[in-house]
Amino acid sequence: MSNQPEFDFLIVGAGMAGASLAAELSAHARVILIEAEDRPGYHATGRSAAFWTESYGGPQVQPLTTASGPWLQDHGFLAPRGALTLAREEQADELDAFVQGFRSAGVEVETLDRDAIERRLPGVSPQWQLAAFEPDCCDIDVAGLHAHYLAALRKGGGQLRLRAPLVQAARNGPGWRVELADGQVIRCETLVNAAGAWADQVAQRAGIAPLGIQPMRRTVAQLRTAPAASASLPLVLDIGGDFYFKPENGRLWLSPHDETPSAACDAAPEEIDVALAIDRFQQVVDWRIEAVEHRWAGLRSFAPDRLPVYGRDSAEPQFAWFAGQGGFGIQTAPAAAMLAAAQLLERAQPDMLRDIDAGIYSPDRFAARI
């Protein structure tokens, strides 16, 4: 049997990461996207309360978010929301550093006084005296964006294979021999790891040293409140990272902003995290919670330095990483996929990415790992 690759790229994981990269590559190469579940985007992508806000993820993620914004807007995946970051008086220095840091990067951020806070968030507790407001924050149509990328993959001639978990992969001649759970074998030139919470496991199945990518559980609860959550309510966060909430079809989506280390799994919410979210919410506004209608959890995965990992492995260049995208993988998806595709295809970065230093996301920064 020939050892010649059937595909230029085999991408593991059909969430937003894998789907976006597959779409970018499929216009130029033979691509197959494999997914262990019955449907793509079942885990982190399908459970996201995603929003696009330039401050989320920190200063080194912000360029990817900013570059993605116009593309997301032009393709109809953003809806105006605004983001309100609250602070107590004793957190004034922290809030000021937040505002000045992102303003210096070109992000529009306003400081608000107490009256302006109350206009945007009726019933807010007196302890929240300070706030920053990002008018450009938007909701993201996650399902629509994911479907767009899968359609682009098909249009480019790429393939999607579901219920196809990778069992093992081994170098074989000019590329890889990849064995799936059902015994099928696929040959590819480059194996791309976009497996999210399972990224380190996929690497190990291919004989590649893991990077220490850690899945973290994030909890969200849907509340019915009195007053009902207004459609005009902004995304509300606090400078300490203890909560966020936003309206969704007359209900409120609330998270305690938890990051609990977890094994890679089908994540489920813990009652203590839901209770923590409610307790923190009750310290923000005087609204009455009438019902907790739904609760869920998802996994977000971080590299040790909390930056994403894009590019070919330093020890095995026919193995590439597209992982560690934390909670910002959806808002950065267009820029991240274009950046990684340019690297893998050995092409120049698109003009919209000209100010982004791809080197800070390279796996080379972990070259000394065991």
Mean pLDDT in consecutive groups of 10 residues from the start of the chain, 370 residues:
82 97 98 95 71 91 96 97 98 97 94 97 98 97 96 98 96 95 95 97 97 96 97 97 95 96 95 97 98 96 97 96 94 98 96 94 83
Query: Which residue, chain included where needed, has tokens 């800070």?
Result: 360
44-102: per-residue pLDDT in tens?
665 677 889 999 889 999 999 999 999 999 999 999 999 999 999 999 999 999 999 99
Which CATH number does the domain 83-135+214-302 belong to among 3.30.9.10, 3.30.450.40, 3.30.460.80, 3.30.470.20?
Answer: 3.30.9.10
The pLDDT assigned to 287 comes to: 98
Q: What's this model's pTM, rounded to 2 decimal places?
A: 0.94
How far apart, in whole angstroms, are the C-alpha atoms of residue 226 and residue 170? 58
Our CA dihedral for 204, 207, 213, 216, rounded to 10 degrees, sits at -10
Beta bridge partners of 139: 51, 79
pLDDT number for residue 47: 65
What's the rounded Cα separation, in Å, for the pair 204 and 266? Answer: 20
Closest Cα partner for 268 from 218, 335, 318? Answer: 218
Residue 4 has what pLDDT? 73
3-state secondary structure of 198: helix
Domains 7-46+142-212+305-366 and 83-135+214-302 share a fold: no
Q: Can you give the pLDDT at residue 268?
A: 95
CATH fold, domain 7-46+142-212+305-366, is: FAD/NAD(P)-binding domain (3.50.50)
Domain boundaries, the chain: 7-46+142-212+305-366, 83-135+214-302
**C-alpha angle with apex 301: 299 to 302, nearest 5 degrees?**
150
Q: How does DSSP classify residue 69? A: H
Strand (E) or helix (H) holding 186: strand 185-193
Query: pLDDT tens digit string along 305-319?
Result: 999 999 999 999 999
pLDDT of residue 41: 81
**Quick one: pLDDT at residue 215?**
97
